[in-house]
Structure 1
């Protein structure tokens, strides 16, 4: 038999991450999806929940959970050093997704603004407000998460984790 062909084949197994893990690696997909879901939730809340403060409260908590949960899922893939630019960029792209959805809802005359429907001239102020809210909440959340991570690493609570990582994988 020829020595060109091996007698034993090695089987290679390709392991791909799960669907949500693959999604969480993409800034655009995570942030845009978050923005779209939050704007639709806001529109549904302000349209159908006018009489109930409980409904508003539950919708606020659900929206905050979605925003901070998706932010955490995205940031968990990267080193703490890169969070300095990744968190504000996530908030910016999330706002782009949210305000693009808002434009579609305005065109369909389904975007609430106060007691009336929003019109195109309301959009810039809505966009600025959404950007400020997203940037503030996401950056504060990222700072809180980073503080907890640094505390846990330095206190020795996490066994087998170095206090100061030697190499930043991204640089």
Structure 2
């Protein structure tokens, strides 16, 4: 007898949904937008409220805010890249940078419209400043992300090679 065209028993596939945080970190667009908005808001707050008694921020304040901003940028990129193999990182880094800068410029445009976008520590940005701010931000982000992702990829590969040399038995010891 021939096998029936439609089987009597079918395999049941159980669907699962990623936790919200994991789903967010896997999305290049969502992580880029979130990073861009947060970094631009942080920058605006830091420049608006960081002036000392003489009107200029101290070097410690500038260094701390720069460090926190770099940590936010690289941390968000790391959260995103950690979901993927290293061979997929180059195009993801590029797309992440483009989306992040686009989101930053959208936030910057809203801040300019509200008259709250700082241009350095001395004044406010205007609409004619937006193209130069966008180009400068894009160049800095591309360089920062490319250098950081290259170093991160080297570290990841080094750790993987080290663990591979130790063998799988090392991973299961308590």
Same structural fold, with TM-score higher than 0.5 when normalized by the shorter chain: yes
- Cα deviation, 1:79-124, whole Å, max 9, x if unaligned, reads 1111111111111110000011000100111001131110000111
How high is the TM-score relative to the length of structure 2? 0.80
- Cα deviation, 1:126-148, whole Å, max 9, x if unaligned, reads 00111011111111111001111
Separation in structure 2 between the aligned mates of residue 49 and residue 152 of structure 1, nearest angstrom: 40
Separation in structure 2 between the aligned mates of residue 99 and residue 74 of structure 1, nearest angstrom: 21
Partner of 1:38: 39
Cα distance change, pair 16–152 in 1 and its aligned pair in 2 (3 A): same
Query: Which one of 113, 116, 119 corresponds to residue 110 of structure 1?
Result: 116
Cα distance change, pair 49–139 in 1 and its aligned pair in 2 (3 A): same
Is 1:28 aligned with 2:12?
Answer: no
Matches within 5 A, 1:143-162: 143-155=150-162, 156=164, 159-160=167-168
Q: Decide whether the 8 Å contact of 1:31 with 1:91 is kept in 2.
A: yes
Partner of 2:17: 16
Gaps of 5+ in 1: 1-5, 161-171
Gaps of 5+ in 2: 1-8, 169-174
How much is the aligned-residue C-alpha RMSD, in angstroms?
Answer: 2.1
- Cα deviation, 1:23-53, whole Å, max 9, x if unaligned, reads 0011111001000000011011111002242
Separation in structure 2 between the aligned mates of residue 151 and residue 98 of structure 1, nearest angstrom: 34
Separation in structure 1 between the aligned mates of residue 66 and residue 35 of structure 2, nearest angstrom: 14
Partner of 1:87: 93
Q: How many residues align?
A: 153
Partner of 1:59: 65
Structure with the bigger percentage of helix: 2
1:153 Cα deviation after fit: 2.2
Separation in structure 1 between the aligned mates of residue 165 and residue 71 of structure 2, nearest angstrom: 26
User: Which stretch of the first structure deviates more once superposed, 147-156 or 115-124?
Assistant: 147-156
